[in-house]
């Protein structure tokens, strides 16, 4: 157990999640102020003493991504200048995670840039959920805890009506993720192979595994424009039956995704977590939101107490 007081603060991106976590831990949420000036500059201030304290700062980096990231960096600077003992950054949805390598010449590796910024601004530890590429943890030279909400989402599908289902990986890159769901639920696995013709356009080339007569449960790390929903045609052409469901950690949910949920009667349920706040206008009838707060509170408590969190991490 650390001899330094545990304090939890949060930026402006997800105050609801921060309050859930602090309520579960029985500690108050720290006081801080974020203001946006008329010229769009961001101002942050810590409204209480944090000298020699162990800080856990919660800030998810959803839309507007750059504002959320800049606010986080400014808070890191403020905590460092205020002589905090340690600053563990909790980023449920890590920004720029899909820009993790060069796919063409002269491109920035944006995820590495974000890692450098966090580290140089004084982060002692970084915690995130179901990042697009787990190898991003190697971009850091400080402790990184890559957590997963897979167990939370899988629990939803332990109901009897899903016993004749099949776990579907929408591409080869998500096969490892899908394999974990299949193992937890004791269901068969199907992998879709697709080719990306542009940053916004993908096409399924073939499907590996038998989906005939089974109900598809498609799993992924995030849903933004909803391109994964367009792959349903291929699944039903290969023999899928019954209503389709999805288990996806990060609900970015751009308007095109919500439109496809409306228009496709084959989709029964989209189960997501609250790594990103879901505003009222995005609370679609087919959407089910599961809170990561109990898991996150447990992780913070374990880290602060010096207890292992290995079984909660994505290690492959």
SS (H, E, C) the chain: CCCCCEEEEECCCCHHHHHHHHHHHCCCECCEEEEECCCCCEEEEECCCCCCCEEEEECCCCCCHHHHHHHHHHHHHHHHHCCCCEEEEEECCCCCCCCCCCCCCCCCCHHHHHHHHHHHCCCCEEEEECCCCHHHHHHCCCCEEEECCHHHHHHHCCCHHHCCEEEEECCHHHHHHHHHHHHHHCCCEEEEEEEEEECCEEEEEEEECCCCCCEEEEEEEEECCCHHHHHHHHHHHCCCCCCEEEEEEEECCCHHHHHHHHHCCCEEEEEEECCCCCCHHHCCCCEEEECCHHHHHHHHHHHHHCCCCHHHECCC
> What integer pLDDT is reported at residue 25 of this predicted model?
98
Please tell me whether residues 182 and 264 are part of one structural domain.
Answer: yes
Q: Has residue 283 been placed in a domain?
A: yes
Q: Are 104 and 208 within one domain?
A: no
Into how many domains does the chain fold? 2
Based on the fold, state whether residues 175 and 192 are members of the same structural domain: yes
| pLDDT at residue number 199 | 58
Query: Quick one: pLDDT at residue 3?
Result: 87
Residues 131 and 165 in one domain: no
Same domain, 113 and 228: no
Q: Are residues 113 and 202 in the same domain?
A: no
CA distance 263 to 285: 13
Nearest to 276 by CA among 46, 50, 58: 58
Say yes or no: 102 and 24 in one domain.
yes
Give pLDDT < 70 ranges for the chain.
1, 196-202, 314-316
Asked whether residue 130 falls in the same domain as residue 208, the answer is no
Same domain as 172, residue 66:
no
- How confident is the model at residue 197, as a pLDDT? 64
* 194: in domain: yes
pLDDT value of position 59: 98
119 occurs within a structural domain: yes
- State the CB neighbour count (10 A cutoff) for residue 183: 13
- CATH no. for residue 35? 3.40.50.2020
pLDDT for the residue 315: 54
For position 311, what pLDDT does the model report?
A: 76
251 and 121 in a common domain:
no
214 and 119 within one domain: no
> Does any domain span residue 250?
yes
Token pair of 149 as six digits: 């909400």
26: Cα separation from own chain's centroid: 25
Q: What is the pLDDT of residue 173?
A: 87
Residue 1 located in a structural domain = no
CA pair distance 316, 111, nearest whole angstrom: 19
Q: d(Cα 89, Cα 194) in Å, to the nearest integer?
A: 35
How wide is the angle at C-alpha 243 spanned by C-alphas 196 and 133, nearest 5°?
A: 35
Are both 166 and 280 inside the same structural domain?
yes
Domain around 164: 151-290
Residues designated catalytic: 194
């Amino acid at each position: 157990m650390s001899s330094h007081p545990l304090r939890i603060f949060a930026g402006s991106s997800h105050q609801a999640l921060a309050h859930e976590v602090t309520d579960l831990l029985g500690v108050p949420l720290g006081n801080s102020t974020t203001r946006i000036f008329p010229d769009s500059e961001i101002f942050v201030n810590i409204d209480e003493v944090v000298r020699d304290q162990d800080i856990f700062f919660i800030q998810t980096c959803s839309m507007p991504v750059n504002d959320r990231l800049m606010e986080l960096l400014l808070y890191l600077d403020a905590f460092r200048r205020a002589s905090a003992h340690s600053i563990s950054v909790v980023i449920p949805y890590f920004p720029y995670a899909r820009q993790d390598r060069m796919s063409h010449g002269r491109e920035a590796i944006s995820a590495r840039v974000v890692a450098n910024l966090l580290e140089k601004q004084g982060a002692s530890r970084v915690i995130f959920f179901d990042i697009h590429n787990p190898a991003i943890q190697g971009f850091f030279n400080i402790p990184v805890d890559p957590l997963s909400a897979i167990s939370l989402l899988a629990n939803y599908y332990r109901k009897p009506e899903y016993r004749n289902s099949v776990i579907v990986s929408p591409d080869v890159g998500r096969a490892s993720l899908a394999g974990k769901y299949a193992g937890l639920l004791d269901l068969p696995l199907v992998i879709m192979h697709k080719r990306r013709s542009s940053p916004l356009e993908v096409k399924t080339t073939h499907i590996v595994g038998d989906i005939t007569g089974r109900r598809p449960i498609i799993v992924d790390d995030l849903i933004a424009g909803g391109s994964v929903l367009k792959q349903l045609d291929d699944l039903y052409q290969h023999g899928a039956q019954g209503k389709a469901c999805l288990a996806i950690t990060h609900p970015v949910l751009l308007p095109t995704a919500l439109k496809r949920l409306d228009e496709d009667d084959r989709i029964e349920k989209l189960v997501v977590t609250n790594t990103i706040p879901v505003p009222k206008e995005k609370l679609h009838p087919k959407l089910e939101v599961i809170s990561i707060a109990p898991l996150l509170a447990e992780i913070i408590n374990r880290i602060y107490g010096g207890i292992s969190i290995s079984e909660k991490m994505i290690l492959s």
